[in-house]
């Protein structure tokens, strides 16, 4: 190495020295073995390089083994038990994403199973990361994901404002009909439809109408609304009156308007919290004059016993003797009228009617011949 008279290193020699240091460090890095980790999935060991998973920090495995994170701990043999519930054959296919960026779905694994595993491991599932022989199954899953994202936009842009309008009126449910952009609704003010359509909300959107044409999209929409906390969700196709077609006169001169109906999608949802209480009818019970407790009324009557401990027989009430209550207007008191009892006078060989109350008061009713 050349030095100047004052001992300084020339500039060109200094640059070459730095290059040699960098090259030596790179060579040492290539020669040193990379850190490996052992993953235990479905009782099968997978040994992979740690840098393969840390290169994808947005995935679950990348987050687990990144520097500064310690979500899992190895077992006694230094193995990390991950991906519980995923088969080893499926996990082997998923590891291709960390190696090549593409997952090749084997024929023995269904597309929904692969989609569920990718969602669990936070691996993107789209046309760029998945290759599958079953195109129908792959496109179905892609359509479900696309429908979910599309309906989220519909919900925020079109449906939520309509629901807010209903809520501001005090309603706790909403029925929305999706019409085409060019649908014209012209109802007769004197003879409107008689099926409750006046309480429906309408949205004019050809794009949303096309979306709800598919039953799979309606299922996705119901699941999205369920995840957002709504209840009593219904999606389907129903007839909706657009304009008056003709007027028909019924016998008696009563007019009947016939409307033209078109088949359009509808959405029904509710946000009522106390729906069970809203439909509860509170039946009032009439109190008994003798028993004030319902439990006591249903219970068996108490037994009376004598001094020897034997039960006393209850007195039998004759059904032919009953009393009624009536109000006395003058005295404002309740007087009990007893039913007359027939007594046979064998000596007189006749029949006399005796009133117990009047007899107790000192009076006797005789037959009409003595009046």
Residue 229: the pLDDT is: 95
265 by Cβ neighbours in 10 Å (0-12 / 13-18 / 19+) ranks as buried
Q: DSSP letter string over 195-251?
A: SSGGG-EEEE-HHHHHHTTSHHHHHHHHHHHHHTT-EEEEEEEEEEEEEEEEEEEPT
- Nearest CA to 84 out of 39, 41, 121 is that of 41
- Report residue 348 as tokens: 């007189």
> How many CB atoms lie under 10 A from the CB of residue 144?
17
Q: Hey, CA dihedral for 345, 351, 357, 358, is it positive or negative? A: negative
Residue 262: the pLDDT is: 93
Residue 253: the pLDDT is: 74
- Nearest CA to 116 out of 146, 147, 148, 84 is that of 84
Beta-strand ranges (E) seen in 50-183 are 79-81, 103-105, 130-132, 173-179
Give the integer Cα–Cα distance in Å for 108 and 29.
40
Give the integer Cα–Cα distance in Å for 130 and 107.
13
170 touches 164 (CB < 8 A): no
Q: Which residues pair with 257 in a beta bridge?
A: 247
Give the integer Cα–Cα distance in Å for 340 and 355.
5
Q: Hey, CA dihedral for 358, 359, 361, 363, is it positive or negative? A: positive
Residue 199: the pLDDT is: 72
Cα dist from 209 to 17, 140, 177, 212, 217, whole Å: 71, 20, 9, 5, 11
Residue 254: the pLDDT is: 78
Contacts of 121 (CB under 8 A, 6+ apart): 59, 60, 61, 83, 86, 94
DSSP state of 121: T
Q: Are strands 130-132 and 173-179 parallel, antiparallel or unpaired?
A: unpaired
Task: For helices 215-227 and 135-154, give the axis angle rounded to 10 degrees.
Answer: 50
| Domains of the chain with bracketed CATH | 36-133 (3.30.710.10), 147-274 (no CATH)
Give the integer Cα–Cα distance in Å for 122 and 52.
15
Cα dist from 32 to 29, 82, 98, 295, whole Å: 5, 27, 22, 86
Tens of each residue's pLDDT in the chain, 371 residues: 454 445 444 545 545 555 564 555 455 444 445 789 999 999 999 999 999 999 999 999 998 888 666 677 888 888 999 988 999 999 999 999 999 999 999 999 999 999 999 999 999 999 999 999 999 999 999 999 999 999 999 999 999 999 999 999 999 999 999 999 999 988 888 888 876 655 789 999 999 999 999 999 999 999 999 999 999 999 999 999 988 888 887 777 777 888 889 999 999 999 998 766 666 555 555 555 555 555 555 555 655 666 666 666 665 555 454 444 444 444 444 444 444 444 444 444 444 444 444 444 454 444 444 44
For 114-141, give one letter per residue: b (16+ CB within 10 A) or e. bbbbbeebebebeeeebebeeeebbeeb
Give the integer Cα–Cα distance in Å for 361 and 105.
107
Q: Which residues pair with 179 in a beta bridge?
A: 204
Q: Which residues pair with 21 in a beta bridge?
A: none
């Amino acid at each position: 190495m050349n030095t100047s008279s004052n001992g300084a290193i020339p500039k060109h020699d200094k640059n070459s020295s730095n290059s040699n240091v960098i090259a030596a460090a790179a060579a040492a890095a290539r020669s040193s073995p990379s850190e490996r980790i052992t993953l235990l999935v479905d009782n099968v060991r997978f040994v992979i390089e740690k840098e393969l998973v840390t290169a994808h920090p947005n995935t679950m495995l990348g987050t687990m083994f990144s520097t500064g994170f310690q979500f899992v701990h190895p077992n006694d043999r230094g193995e990390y038990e991950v991906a519980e519930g995923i088969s080893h054959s499926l996990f082997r296919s998923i590891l291709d994403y960390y190696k090549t960026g593409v997952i090749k779905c084997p024929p023995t694994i269904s597309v929904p199973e692969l989609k569920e595993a990718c969602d669990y491991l936070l691996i993107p599932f789209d046309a760029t990361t998945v290759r599958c022989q079953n195109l129908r199954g792959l496109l179905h899953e892609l359509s479900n994901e696309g429908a979910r994202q599309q309906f989220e936009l519909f919900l925020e842009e079109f449906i939520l404002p309509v629901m807010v309008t209903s809520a501001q009126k005090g309603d706790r449910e909403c029925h929305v009909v999706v019409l085409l952009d060019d649908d014209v609704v012209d109802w007769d003010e004197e003879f409107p439809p008689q099926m409750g359509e006046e309480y429906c909300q309408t949205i004019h959107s050809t794009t949303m109408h096309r979306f709800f044409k598919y039953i799979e999209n309606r299922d996705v929409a119901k699941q999205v609304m369920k995840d957002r906390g709504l209840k009593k969700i219904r999606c389907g196709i129903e007839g909706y009156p657009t304009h008056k077609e003709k007027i028909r006169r019924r016998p008696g001169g009563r007019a009947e308007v016939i409307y033209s109906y078109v088949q359009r999608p509808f959405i029904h949802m509710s946000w009522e919290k106390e729906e069970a209480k809203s439909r509860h009818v509170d039946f009032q019970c009439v109190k008994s004059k003798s028993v004030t407790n319902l439990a006591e009324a249903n219970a068996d009557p108490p037994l009376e016993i004598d001094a020897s401990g034997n039960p006393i027989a209850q007195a039998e009430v004759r059904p032919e003797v009953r009393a009624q209550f009536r109000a006395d207007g003058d005295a404002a008191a309740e007087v009990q009228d007893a039913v007359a009892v027939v007594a046979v006078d064998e000596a007189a060989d006749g029949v006399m009617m005796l009133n117990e109350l009047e007899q107790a008061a000192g009076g006797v009713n005789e037959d009409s011949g003595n009046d």
